């Protein structure tokens, strides 16, 4: 079943020009509004794909009780922004990349330490053998 509340929150969070762009994509030159979804409680696959593409989300994101996590940020009853699955994944990927870079730096430092210790041991062996 279609999550009409989510669609309305996403739509309300858009600036006016983006709202008009979405309406045009969904309904072409028709006089329909977003109320269409509430009235019909049904959606064609093409309209669902248009919504998914517009918001950069998978189709399942717009289903009621979707297994995908959503986090709609609101402020004083006005939508301040949406933190979407894609955004969350981007932040997580970015954090993991930074962690990998940090681990690579640590590994480089440890390898340098090992080389220094090997050189020190060789110097000690040389001094002992003299």
Are 16 and 70 contained in the same domain?
yes
> Are residues 54 and 21 both part of a single domain?
yes
Number of domains in the chain: 2
Range of the domain at 31: 4-83
Domain co-membership, 130 together with 101: yes
Between the CA of residue 73 and those of 28, 82, 90, 92, 103, what are the distances in Å? 30, 6, 17, 18, 33
pTM above 0.85, yes or no: no
Task: Tell me what pLDDT residue 68 has.
Answer: 62
Instruction: Convert the pLDDT of each residue in 94-121 to its tens digit.
Output: 788 889 999 999 999 999 999 999 999 9
Cross-strand bridge partners of residue 63? 2
Of 71, 59, 80, 75, the C-alpha closest to 15 is 80
Same domain, 95 and 124: yes
Residue 91 has pLDDT above 80, yes or no: no
pLDDT at residue 58, as a whole number: 85
Same-domain check for residues 100 and 40: no
* 130 and 99 both lie in a single domain: yes
Strand segments, DSSP code E, in the chain are 71-75, 78-83
Same domain, 45 and 27: yes
């Amino acid at each position: 079943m279609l999550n009409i509340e989510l669609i309305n929150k996403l739509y309300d969070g858009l600036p006016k020009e983006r709202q008009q762009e979405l309406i045009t994509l969904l309904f072409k030159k028709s006089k329909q509004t977003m109320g269409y979804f509430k009235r019909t409680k049904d959606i064609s696959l093409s309209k669902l794909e248009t919504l998914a593409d517009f918001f950069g989300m998978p189709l399942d994101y717009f289903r009621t009780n979707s297994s995908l996590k959503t986090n709609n940020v609101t402020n004083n009853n006005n939508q301040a922004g949406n933190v979407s699955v894609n955004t969350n994944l981007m932040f997580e990927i970015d954090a993991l990349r930074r962690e990998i870079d940090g681990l690579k730096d640590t590994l480089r430092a440890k390898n340098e330490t090992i080389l220094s210790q090997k050189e020190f041991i060789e110097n000690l062996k040389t001094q002992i053998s003299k």
